Amino acid sequence: MWEGDLPHGSGKFTVGSEAMGEMPVTWASRTERSDGKTSPEELIAAAHGSCFAMALSGVLAEGGTPPERLEISAVCTFDVDNIKVSSVDLDIRGRVPNLDAEGFQGAVEQAEQGCPVSNALRGNVEMQVNASLDEG
C-alpha cells in the first residue's frame, strides 16, 4: 500500500510467508536516510545474499567440501539520477575445510552462474562478487 505523492508519501508492505511484520517504506528511506525503514534495494540485497549463500553451499557440498561457514554481505545501489537499481556487490567470506583459495574461487564462480537471483539480475544490474577463504 502507498499513500501520498512520491517525495512525501509513505507505504507499507508485508511478505506472504509472514516471516516479518508490516514494513514501512518511503522515498527518503530509499534515497536519503533509512530511519528504521527499508527499501526495495535493501530487500534485493538480502534476497541476493541469502540465495547466493544457498547456491554456494550446494556447489561446495556437491564438490565434496561442504562449508563450515559462509558470510555474505550484499549491497544494492540505487541510482537516484537515473531512477534505477545500478549494482549489487557481494562480499563473500568462507570457511571451508580441505579447500584452497583457487577451489573456493571456482565454486563461487559456479554458484554465481547457478544462483537464481544472480540470474534474474544478470544483464540488468552490474554485479561484483568478491570472495575470500578464511585460513585455518
Query: CATH number, domain at 68?
Result: 3.30.300.20
For 62, the domain range is 40-133
The tally of domains found in the chain comes to 2
Query: Is pTM beyond 0.85 here?
Result: yes
Residue 56 CB neighbours (<10 A): 26
Quote the CA–CA distance of 38 and 23 in Å, as a whole number.
7
Domain shared by 46 and 105, yes or no: yes
Pick the closest to residue 70 from 34, 115, 40 (CA basis).
115
In the predicted model, residues of the chain with pLDDT beneath 70 are 136
Quote the CA–CA distance of 1 and 78 in Å, as a whole number.
21
Domain shared by 15 and 72, yes or no: no
Tell me which amino acid residue 108 is: V
Domain shared by 81 and 20, yes or no: no
Quote the CA–CA distance of 12 and 22 in Å, as a whole number.
6
| pLDDT given at position 136 | 58
The pLDDT tens digits of the residues spanning 76-89 come to: 999 999 999 999 99
Domain shared by 99 and 129, yes or no: yes
Tell me which amino acid residue 118 is: S
Helix (H) / strand (E) containing 55 = helix 40-62
Domain shared by 50 and 27, yes or no: no
Q: Classify residue 4 by burial, with Cβ atoms within 10 Å: 0-12, 13-18, 19+.
A: exposed
Domain shared by 101 and 52, yes or no: yes
| pLDDT given at position 32 | 83
| pLDDT given at position 117 | 97
